[in-house]
Amino acid sequence: MKPMNEEHLAVLRRHMVEMIAIHADLASEELGKATLDERVMASMRRVPRHLFVPAAVAPYAYQDMPLPIGFDKTVSQPFIVALMTDLLAPQPHETVLEIGTGLGYQSAILAELAGQVWSVEIIEEFASHAEALLQGLGFSNVAIRVGDGSRGWPEHAPFDKILVSVAAERTPPALLNQLKPGGRLVLPLASEEVQFLTIIDKDAAGQLETRKLIPVRFSRLETI
């Protein structure tokens, strides 16, 4: 059997986005809305997820499921990637801090929508792979460094938006400090055995408002 070409892959991406739309509609009561931002959905149709996973699981890249990427880590389910991006609502003029680069799929989605993405990854092999892949795909507005994500990236702070792709029991204070007034932080927060996708908004006076949405399952934040 011959390998799939880009036309075939584009069909699979469109199907993946259709499944994301169904999932969002089914979760509308919990989310408070039935649809996700079309800008986000369009970026999911463009970014080649099969390139951001190991070859052994690439045939499953466009199914709505998390996939293993090594070091006991996974790339998030496409619905969760789309939902977190939708909740973050990155804009073309904004800077975004991402904690947990992985192999760079979420980074690519953010780079499609934001002005600049600064991403921190604790596993050096992931960071170098993601950096090479993103550069090869022409994403010039993503910078990656190896480090402890709980410390953020103070040299480039403050950030308009922060997205954390690993779970923590509490929001790292450094990330709250590096979020601009009027900014938003989206992350999974762990309470005992349950993790909830959480939105934290910082108002103009620096006050924080926190909202929990749906239960999720993410790898834990690793610190140095």
Residues known to be catalytic: 76
Q: Both tokens of residue 148?
A: 């402890």
Bridge partners of 68, per DSSP, are: 74
184 vs 223: CA distance, rounded Å = 22
At what angle are helices 6-26 and 38-46 packed, to 10 degrees?
A: 150
96 vs 93: CA distance, rounded Å = 10
CA atoms within 13 A on the CB side of 219: 23
- Measured over the CA atoms of residue 145, residue 148, residue 154 and residue 155, the dihedral's sign is negative
Residue 172 · residue 108 · CB < 8 Å: no
Nearest to 213 by CA among 31, 23, 22, 33: 31
